[in-house]
A and B are shown apart, each in its own frame.
Chain A
Amino acid sequence: EPEVTQTPSHQVTQMGQEVILRCVPISNHLYFYWYRQILGQKVEFLVSFYNNEISEKSEIFDDQFSVERPDGSNFTLKIRSTKLEDSAMYFCASSVLPTNEKLFFGSGTQLSVL
């Protein structure tokens, strides 16, 4: 069964450093998303992406965040200068439908900012 894959599974970084989280969405999906989950809290929307541009973003997704689809298969989330409060599990998701329906999630990247 096709699945969304994310790498790395764990990322430890120093505050102020840049990190890039990588995702390979399901191959026939056209809509891509990043969500995050701080330990013990709700899953929160960050950004959605379609046709090489951001469709929607949340208040969390400030100038420190960016997304890119550098080739036909990868979808990345970059955090330019990490803060302690960026520590969370980051989930990539993809979907066939444009209306945020039936998102398929990856297993996540646990980001720890020290």
Chain B
Amino acid sequence: GESVGLHLPTLSVQEGDNSIINCAYSNSASDYFIWYKQESGKGPQFIIDIRSNMDKRQGQRVTVLLNKTVKHLSLQIAATQPGDSAVYFCAENGMDTGRRALTFGSGTRLQVQP
């Protein structure tokens, strides 16, 4: 069935290092992907998105990479800061199913060590 999942439940990095959070998806027809950050007690916060006609998109300190061949999505955070500590979710919009609603992955917790 269709699913969006994450490889690692927890990622611990040192402050200043780069972080890479990975996400696998199974719906080959997905054409839109998005990363959200969720801090404790708050709602998901938009980070960056990418369409399937692109393989890379950059934002401020963040880069999303999309590999459609292996159905893999990653979020790279440069110079990770303590404020980046949160749970990160990938989500996809499964257009082929007729459902436009976002399907979320199970999340990766990023812990930034000072």
On A, residues with C-beta under 8 Å from B are 4, 33, 41-45, 48, 55-56, 58, 91, 93, 99-108
Cβ of B102 and Cβ of A100 under 8 Å apart? yes
Given contacts A43-B89, A99-B93, contact A56 B104 (CB under 8 A): no
On B, residues with C-beta under 8 Å from A are 32, 34, 36, 41-46, 49, 89, 91, 93, 99-107
Q: Which residues of B contact A106 (CB under 8 A)?
A: 43
Q: Which of B45, B93, B107 contacts A42 (CB 8 A)?
A: B107
Cβ of A43 and Cβ of B44 under 8 Å apart? yes
Q: Which residues of A contact B41 (CB under 8 A)?
A: 107
Question: Smallest distance from the beta carbon of B100 to chain A beta carbons, Å?
Answer: 5
A107 to B43, CA, bound (A): 4
Q: Which residues of A contact B49 (CB under 8 A)?
A: 101-102
Q: Which of B44, B93, B104 contacts A44 (CB 8 A)?
A: B104
Cβ of A108 and Cβ of B107 under 8 Å apart? no
Cβ of A100 and Cβ of B101 under 8 Å apart? yes
Q: Which of B45, B100, B103 contacts A105 (CB 8 A)?
A: B45
Q: Which residues of B contact A55 (CB under 8 A)?
A: 100
Of listed A41, A101, A102, residue having the most chain B CB within 10 A: A101
Q: Which residues of B contact A44 (CB under 8 A)?
A: 104
Q: Which residues of B contact A102 (CB under 8 A)?
A: 34, 46, 49
A58 to B102, CA, bound (A): 11
A18 to B102, CA, bound (A): 27
25 CB < 8 A contacts A-B: A33-B101, A41-B106, A42-B104, A42-B107, A43-B91, A45-B101, A45-B102, A48-B100, A48-B101, A55-B100, A56-B99, A58-B101, A91-B43, A91-B44, A99-B93, A100-B100, A100-B101, A100-B102, A101-B93, A102-B46, A103-B102, A105-B43, A105-B44, A105-B45, A107-B41
